[in-house]
Structure 1
């Protein structure tokens, strides 16, 4: 999880360093901010509901493997 956060920080820094063709410093594009905020929301939700998510996925996989319906 630390690697994902480090990647998004690195990406934000890289995007902030980009310059437009006319030499003016640009702001962080909207799509980058949406992506970073979405990743943060996913990490926060996973941190809170980790047990429930893991349990649901394991139940789904075991139902597929055993051929039963829940």
Structure 2
């Protein structure tokens, strides 16, 4: 019986897929750039920055509109754990 283990970290090796093409110039040019771009681990940094800024904006807007209600909800939720002395 064999046991397969799952890796929880990224491998430092890059896997490059074989490109089925016969033109050497094509393989060394466009296909190589495409493979490098697809195998890049850089990610979508501008997208994550935009999501983070939008989330911060929503929190600020909600806090500006409903700060009293948010504080009251928090105090009501914490009262049983603190002996009702908030």
Give the alignment's TM-score, normalised by structure 2. Answer: 0.42
Could you say which structure has the larger radius of gyration? 2
Tell me the number of residue pairs that the alignment of Structure 1 and Structure 2 aligns.
40
Structure 1: runs of 5+ lacking an equivalent: 1-27
**CA drift at 1:49:** 0.9
The within-5 A match list for 1:13-28 is none
Give the ranges of 4+ consecutive aligned residues of structure 1 lying more than 6 Å apart after TM superposition: none
- Does residue 66 of the first structure (1) align with residue 80 of the second (2)? no
The aligned counterpart of 1:14 is none
Q: Which has the higher helix share?
A: 1
CA distance in 2, matches of 1:65, 1:30: 41
1:31 alignment partner in structure 2: 48
In angstroms, what is the RMSD of aligned CA positions?
1.8
**Offset at residue 63 of structure 1 (A):** 1.7
C-alpha distance in 2 between matches for 1:62 and 1:38: 28
Q: Which runs of 5+ in 2 are unaligned?
A: 1-44
CA distance in 2, matches of 1:31, 1:50: 27
